[in-house]
Structure 1
Amino acid sequence: MNGGDSKDDEEEREQVMSEVHLGCPPGISGPHISRFTICLPSGVESSRFNGLFKEEESCTDQEISFDEDGDLILPRRRQISRRCFTMKIQHNITSPIPNVGLQVWKAELILSDFVLHKMCTSMEFHGIVSLELGAGTGLAGMLLAHAAKTVFLTDHGDQILENCLKNVQLNSGVLNHQKVVYVRELDWTHPWPPKVSSDLATQERFSWSSSELEEVQKASLLLAADVIYSDDLTDALFGILERIMSQGSEKVLYLALEKRYNFSLDDLDVVANGYLNFRSYLKDDSECEGLELGSLPCFMGKCIDVAEIPQYVGGYDRGDDVELWEIRYSKGKL
C-alpha cells in the first residue's frame, strides 16, 4: 500500500461532524431529516414571494425584568406573527471527510441567507441560469430556484448526488415547478466540459446532455459553500473555475467559507493553511487592472460584510470565522 492509499483510508475512517448538527438525535448512522425554518427578517418586505412566505404564529418569551423592589417579574409568553416557510433537508449526522457533502455546514446557511436576501430585495437573480459547485445537500441552490430560470446542483460521488436529488424531491411542494433544478455530476479534476452521451438509453442518471452544457454557457451566477478545506481541492476548484468562467457570458461566483485553524509544525503556530491557499488565487481590482497584470487573466475577489446580510435561516450561530466572497474572472487583454 502506498502513502496515498494510507491517507485515503485514514480519511475514510475519520468521522467529522458539522456544528449545525449539534443536538441531532445521537446514534443515527444513516440519513436524518432536519427541518430548516426560513423567515423574513423584520424590516424586509417581499411581496413577490407571498405564496412562499406564509403567516405563522409562534410564542416568544419577553425579556426578564424586575420591579421597583428588585423582585423578578415573571415573563409572559406572547404570540408573534412571522412570515415563514420550511425546507426539509436529508443529511448525515457525521461523515468521513470525502463525504462531507452529506452534511449541512455553516457556510451553506450563510450563502442561503445571501441568496434569499438578494431574491427578496432585488431582481438580480430573477430569470438567470445558475451553477452551484460542491452543492452538497443543495439547500442554497434550491432556494435560488424560486427566482432563477435554471439551477444546476453539481457535486461528485453517487452517494452525495443521490442525497441531493432526494432533497429536491422532499421539497417539491415548496419549489417553484416553473423553474428547473438539475442534479449533475461534476468532478473538478476532470476536463471541462464533461463528456456527454448521445444515446439517451445509456445515459447515466447524473450525466450531462449537450443542451444542458449549452445552458451552462449562459449562466451568469455560480455558487459554492464550504469547499475550501483541502489545498488539492482548492487547486482543482480554481482550475475548473477558470475553464467555466472564461467561456460564454460573464459570470460572478459567490463563495462562502469557514476558516479552519490547525497547528502547523512548519509555522509553529495556529494557522488557516487552507484559507491562505484560497487567498493566494485572488487579486483585488487594482492589481488586476495594473500595467503588469492587465494582459494576464486573474481572479478578482471582494469580501462581503456578512453582518450586513440579515439572517433568514433560523437555528444557527454564524460565529466569527465565516466569510462570503464575490469573485470575478478577468480574461486579460489580447
Structure 2
Amino acid sequence: MGPAGPAGSVRPLKLEGVLLEGATTVTDHITPPQNADAASPATESASAEADRTTAESATPEAPTAPETTPTVQAGPAAQTRQGPNRPPDRRPRRPRRGRGRPRRRRGPPHQHDDPIPGGDREPGELLGILEVLPSGSGFIRRAADGYVPGKNDIYVGSRLIHRFGLRTGDELAGIVGRRPRNGKSPPLRFLDLVNGLAPDSAARRPDFNRLSAMHPREQLRLECGRFHAGEPDMTNRVVDLFCPMGKGQRAMIVAPAKAGKTTILQAVAEGVEKNHPECELIILLVDERPEEVTEMEMCGFGEVIASTFDLTPERHCQVAEMTLARARRRVEAGKDVVIILDSITRLARAHNTGEEGSGRTLSGGLDASSLEKPKRFLGSAR
C-alpha cells in the first residue's frame, strides 16, 4: 500500500528488479507517478502484468547471497552474548613470572671479569699449577697431591683462561669460592697473580715453542766446598773440570746400577742451589723408590716432584708432563730453570707401557712412539 493521494486514492509502487550474474540483487525504488490523478485502471493492470512477467523470467537456479550476521560491538557485556559461531571470550593473558628479567644462574658462581677486585686487597695465597683440559676449562693441581687430579683441585672456567691466555703449567694465586653443594670442585673467584706477575702480562708473553735454542754462553759453576761424611767432596770440582755445564745445555749420566748416580745428582743440586740462586731448581723423580724420594726431600735442594713405583704408568707420564709445562711457563716469564730428572729411562718405560703402541718395535722391546715424549723432554733446553 502506498501513501494516499489528495483525493483519497492509493498511489501505486513500482518494483524494479535488476538481475546480476551470480547473484540476485533487488533494489526498491519508490517512483511516484508524475500525475497520480490521471492514472487509469488500464495503466495499473499493465504495470502489474509487466512486473509479473519480469519475476517469472528470473533464473530460479541462481545462487543467493549468503546471509551475514551483523556484528555488534557494544562493550564487554555484549561480547559475552555472542552467537554459537563466535569464538569464546578470552581474557588477556597474564605475563609469566620472570619474563623480561635476567635469568638466574644455577650452581656455583663463575669467575667474573675483574682479576683484582679492589686495589687495597692483598693478593691471595698460592694455589697450585693449572692444567688446561681439552674442553677449554681447567683445574688447579696442588703440590700436596703431586700435581695429579685430587679432591682438593680448584675449578677454573674457560672464560678466565681465554681472557688471560692461561696455559698448562701456570702457577696461579688468588681467592677460592665456596664449594658447591653437589660435591664438585670449588671455583676460582679472583685471580691475582700468574707466575708471580700480574694477570694482564700473561696474555703478552711469548710462546716457548717460538724461542730460539742457542749454544750455552754462561757456565753453571757447581764447585761449592761440599762435604760428605765429614770430608771434602770433590764431585762438583771434577764436573767443572772435565764436563762443564752451562745454561741451556743438556747433560746425561750413564752408569750401571749402584755406581753412585743419585749421589752425583745430589751434589749437582747443591751446587746449583748455592752458586746460582737466580735459577729455579726442580728435581723430578719418576718411578722411584719411596725411600729415595724421602732422602732427596731431606736434602732441601729445590722442589722435589716425585711419582713412586707403586703408582700407575699413566700417573708417571702425567707428573712428567706437568713438570715440563711448569718449567716452560717459567722460561716464558724470563726466568732460568734447572731440571734434574731421575730417570729418563724409567720415563720411557712408563710411556711404552701406558700409551697405545704404534706397532713398530725398536731394539729392547720399546715401541717407536714411546721415545717421542722423553726426547721432547730432553730437547726442551734453551
Does TM, normalized by the shorter one, top 0.5?
no
Larger Rg: 2
TM-score by length of 2: 0.19
Structure with a larger share of its residues in strand: 1
TM-score by length of 1: 0.21
- Choose between structure 1 and 2 for higher RCO, CA contacts under 8 A separated by at least 6 residues: 1
